[in-house]
Amino acid sequence: MRKIVIGILAIAYLVNAQFRCKNMKGKDVDWFVALKLPANIDERNGRSFVYYDSSENGWVMSKQPINSTESAIGATLEQLYNSDDVRTHSTSSY
């Protein structure tokens, strides 16, 4: 019983972290999926990707390379890199 209570308290603590998925416009979304394209069919030498999130109607070719901070992946991860909050680091490493 004690382990269950500790587990619930730990989850409640981590849920409070302000780490959110971002879309291609930098707005919060519930989820997103990105598929990196192979370098041999990619004009950006392996940095192109297609993207789909809860606000889109289908897959969208990203105008930004996958390593750009303006892409959904970059905007989402930027929160982690710019955060000093231990809860954010714990959540993302889980």
Q: Is residue 44 part of a domain?
A: yes
Compute the average pLDDT of residues 65-81. 88
Give the per-residue pLDDT at 43: 76
The CA radius of gyration of the chain, in Å to the nearest whole number, is 16
Residue 43 lies in a domain: yes
- State the total domains in the chain: 1
DSSP one-letter string for 34-73: EEEPPGGG-TTSS--EEEEETT-SS-EE-SS-TT-TTSHH
- Per-residue confidence (pLDDT) for residue 12, from 0 to 100: 58
Residue 61 resides in a domain:
yes
Residue 11 lies in a domain: no
Q: Which domain holds residue 79?
A: 20-83
Evaluate whether residue 90 is within a structural domain.
no
Q: What is the model's pTM?
A: 0.63
Cα–Cα dist 74/51, whole Å: 13
pLDDT reading at 16 higher than 90? no
Residue 62 lies in a domain: yes
Residue 39 inside a domain? The answer is yes
pLDDT in tens, 44-69: 788 999 999 999 999 999 999 988 98
- Provide the pLDDT for residue 35: 93
Report how far residue 20's alpha carbon sits from residue 90's, in angstroms, rounded to the nearest whole number.
14
Question: Is 90 exceeded by the pLDDT of residue 83?
Answer: no
pLDDT over 70 at 11, yes or no: no
Instruction: Give the pLDDT confidence score for residue 94 in this predicted structure.
Output: 47
- Which has more confidence, 9 or 61? 61
